Amino acid sequence: MVRGPFLSAHIGYWVDKEFTGRGIGSAAMTFALDFSLQELGLHRLQAATLTIAPPRRRFSNAPGSRR
C-alpha cells in the first residue's frame, strides 16, 4: 500500500487449477476491490496478470476496470 496524496495498492492472487472456473478469483477480487475503496479509502487498486492466464484477464477486463 502506498500512502500519500494518491492512495493506492497492488494486489496479486493465485487459484489452483483444480478450482478455476468457479468464480473464486472473481469473488476474491471483487471483495478486495470493494474493501480497498470503501473501507481503506484507497483511490486505486492495481492488479497485473500474466499473458498466459486468460481467465484472470477476464476479470481485469470487467466493466469499470481500465488497462
Report how far residue 7's alpha carbon sits from residue 62's, in angstroms, rounded to the nearest whole number.
Answer: 22
Cβ–Cβ < 8 Å for 12, 47: yes
Within a domain: 2: no
Number of domains present in the structure of the chain: 1
Beta pairing, strands 44-47 & 8-11: parallel
Domain span including residue 19 = 8-60
Is position 24 within any domain? yes
Higher pLDDT, 3 or 34: 34
Q: Is the pTM of this model over 0.85?
A: no
Does 28 fall in a domain? yes
pLDDT digits (tens, 9 = 90+) for 29-64: 889 989 998 999 998 888 877 766 555 555 555 545
Q: What is the mean pLDDT of residues 8-36?
A: 88
Say how far apart CA 9 and CA 31 lie, in whole Å. 14
What sign does the CA torsion over 9, 24, 26, 12 have? Answer: positive
Whether 65 maps to a domain, the answer reads: no
Is residue 1, in this structure, part of any structural domain at all?
no
Give the residue carrying C-alpha cell 480497498. Answer: 36
